[in-house]
Each structure stands twice: as C-alpha cells, then as structure tokens.
Amino acid sequence: MPSRSLGYCVNSALKEIGDPAITSFTSTNILQSILIEEVNECVEEIMTYGEFRWALKHSNFVTAADITTGQVAMTNGSSTVNSVDADDVSANNFGSVTTDMWIRRTQDSESYPIAKVVTSGSPDTLTLGVSAGAGSRNYVGTTTTGSGYRIFQDTYPLPILGTVTLVASSASGTYTTGETITGGSSGSTATIVLHDTSQSIVYLSGASAAFTVGETVTGGTSSVTSTVTSTNTTRVMDEIKHITYGQSATWAQSMAGQMGDNSINMVNMTRIMSESGGDLHRNTSGRPHLATIVSNAVNEDPRLLLWPFPTKAYLVDIWYKELFNDASVFSTDIFGGNAPGIAYQAVQSRCKVRASMFNEDRGRAQMWEQRYQSSIGHLMRRENREEIDAAFDLQTYRRDYGVTIPTRSGIYFDLKGAQR
C-alpha cells in the first residue's frame, strides 16, 4: 500500500492503538470515519500555511490570431455576414473562424459574437449571435457590399477550473487521454483527461454541453463505448497564482528569453471595464496584460477573458493552486503526488493524535502532537530554504515536476507565489 495514500494514513493510526490493518473502508466504522475526516482536515490546514512550490500546477493554451483577410458584406437587419474579396466577389476567408470569436466591422463601434460558421459553399458565411455560439442577432450598422473587418477571440476555456466527471458503466475498453468523446443522445463532446477504470470514472474537460444519464458515449480515437450512469462537475483549481504569455506557440521559443514584462495580472471585471472605457473591443488590441474569469453563456463553463484581446498566437502559461477535495477512496494520494515526504509524515502524526485520543491515551496523543508540530516546522523550513534565493524559476519547476523541455526562463517566485 503506498505510504502516501489515505488508506496508509488510517492504517498507521490503527496500528498505533493496536487495531488490525484494513484493506478497505467500512462506512459504519466510527473510528475509520473519524480518521478519514482528520486526514482531510489536516491536509486542508497544511495548505493554509504557505504557497508551497510543490502545490502549484501548470496549464497552457495558445491564443487565436485575429483574422482580417479580404472584406465582409453585411446588411442592416440581417444576421448573415458574407466573405468577399477586394472586388466584392464571393470569397472563402472564414476557414479558421470559430464560434468562440467576435467580429467587428472596421467602421463600426460595436462587436458581434459569432453563433455559426459555414465554410462548405461560396462565399463563407457567419451568423451573428446573441452570445458566442448561440442565438441570432441582426446587424444594426450601415449596409456594405465590401468593408474591412476584424475577427478575434478574447475568452478562452479553462478546463482547470472545472472537470466534468462521468460515472461510466460497461466500458468496452479504456479511453485514451486527449481523445474526444461524443454523447450518443446529447451530442455533447469533451476531451478525455483520465479514465479511471478501477472506479469506472471518466474525467473530462471542455464539455460542449451536458451529457445525459443513460446515453452511450464513444471515444473518437479508441472507439471505446460506455454508458453514463451519473455526472458531476468537480473544481480542480483553487486560485490562479500567475499568468505569462510568449509570442509563439511553442514552449522552447516562447520561454527562450526573459518573461518578466510579459505578465498578465488577474483583476476583476470592473478594472477591465474602467481601462477599456466600457468597450472591451475598441481599438486597443495587441498584447494582453489583464485577465478575469467569466462564464460561458452556453454552458456556464469558466473562461479566461484577456484584455486587450490578443492579435497574435501567444502561448499563455497559467500556474494555479489546486483545490484539494476531500479524499474518500482508500488508494487516493492525499496531496495529489507532489508533496514532500515530511508533509505526509505530518498528516500521519495528526492521525495518530486522533486515534490516541479515541483510545483515551493522552500521553501518546501529546507525543504525536509534538511530532506533528515538528514536521510542520521542518516542512516550512524546507520551503523557505528552497525559496530564499528566489530559486523557483521555470526551468527548475519543469525539471522537478515533469515538464522536460529546457528553457532559459526569467520567472521567479517568492514564498507567496508572486513574481519578483
């Protein structure tokens, strides 16, 4: 049994009071329930002591370059936009347009979300929407048979903020991480994050809509099928700590130089509206330096709004603090795998305190409480020692935590997780 698991912590406490080891939890066992609760409370408590380097997680995405090729034809009172060339002849310039984007005619002061894209004929067409990917809205500007325009994207999905969990029975195999699955009834699509076959749980990100209980979901690459028996959305991110961007779509290129002046600050929408003058899409496009979290109007998934909206393909790197949900499965790693051994020792000591108190042995309880405090002191000294010289740069982080592409980054963090 792994020494980092919930089951190991509980067994270490049971051994302390002379109880036999267990291989699974019994829901009616009072002591087991007490110890499980103690583990979760202790982990939560430890995570309040500092912004530990090992607790930071990383994700990234590439922004969409803006689209200005050719011209557009737009009619007042119509929701349809046609792609045309410089001579107002039908054209096909919307091939990379998605329903996450907006369109704004050069002469206008209003932007429109794109609800639909059709590129199967000539010309390519767009449908203006009420919100991105939804509804229909008529153009209120002056009719034009050919005018300049800009299509752009200012919000991006954050699967790290919400992971859809499907309990999927009768799976014909194992889904492949990264593949797209599709619901047979709902038509919803999502990306596989992990298929835990031992628990019959499928973790997804970027779901286009809600999956339906009872429907069959099929993997686009593996062709694996399973039946949805329940769904749930689990938060996996507690707080975004730091965001940077690079001017390319690759790790090696974007991190080849100093990134200190490429920080994106997390603020509230009031700050962004103030700086934008109330118009998020006015002509201030370029390098984003502010961000906030908004909801997708279609499925309420969290998204990151960047301002000013980017006009190039930037690689956006996000470091975030993971939200530790209460552990309940016997084999679950209580810290998620990256914590140093002293953190696990601290939790085990606290469990032994609780078991000793349950056994009415105050002397042993006091001894284990002292060992818990000693472990916490050791953990904090270890963290301070690693941080004191601002030694947390991106290259070290990737070396220690599994990202292997070499870099020459200039990102440094202090103990609180802020960039120096």
Domain boundary among 193, 216, 234: 234
Domain boundary among 152, 175, 194: 152
Specify if 182 maps to a domain: yes
Are 206 and 180 members of one domain?
A: yes
Q: Provide the number of structural domains found in the chain.
A: 4
Are 171 and 185 members of one domain?
A: yes
pLDDT at 418 over 60: no
Enclosing H/E stretch for 251: helix 251-254
The three-class DSSP label of residue 215 is coil
- What percentage of the chain reaches a pLDDT higher than 70? 82
Q: Please state the rounded mean pLDDT for residues 226-249.
A: 75
Q: Please check whether residue 135 is in contact with residue 114, taking contact to mean a CB–CB distance below 8 angstroms.
A: no
Q: Tokens 């019994």 sit at which residue?
A: 26
Reported confidence tier of residue 54, pLDDT bands at 50, 70, 90: confident
Are 265 and 288 members of one domain?
A: yes
Give per-residue pLDDT as tens, 189-222. Answer: 888 877 878 778 888 876 777 788 899 999 999 9
Are 306 and 352 members of one domain?
A: no
Distance CA 94, CA 113 (A): 14
For 175-314, list the strands marked E by DSSP: 180-183, 189-196, 201-205, 216-219, 225-234, 237-246, 263-266, 290-295, 302-307
Comparing CA positions, the residue from 363, 358, 418, 356 lying closest to residue 387 is 418
pLDDT at 97 over 90: yes
Specify if 96 maps to a domain: yes
Specify if 379 maps to a domain: yes
Specify if 34 maps to a domain: yes
Distance CA 411, CA 180 (A): 34
Specify if 343 maps to a domain: yes
Specify if 55 maps to a domain: yes
Are 31 and 42 members of one domain?
A: yes
Strands 216-219 and 225-234 come out as antiparallel
Residue 160: predicted pLDDT: 59
Domain that holds residue 116: 71-152
Are 342 and 376 members of one domain?
A: yes
Domain boundary among 126, 152, 178: 152
Are 50 and 81 members of one domain?
A: no
Are 256 and 225 members of one domain?
A: no
Specify if 252 maps to a domain: yes
Residue 283: half-sphere exposure toward Cβ, Cα within 13 Å: 6
Q: Please state the rounded mean pLDDT for residues 103-110.
A: 92
Are 78 and 142 members of one domain?
A: yes
Reported confidence tier of residue 233, pLDDT bands at 50, 70, 90: low
Specify if 419 maps to a domain: no
Are 327 and 390 members of one domain?
A: yes
pLDDT at 290 over 80: yes
Are 27 and 87 members of one domain?
A: no
Are 202 and 188 members of one domain?
A: yes
pLDDT at 255 over 60: no
Would you put residue 391 in left (φ > 0), alpha (ψ -120 to 50) or beta?
Answer: alpha
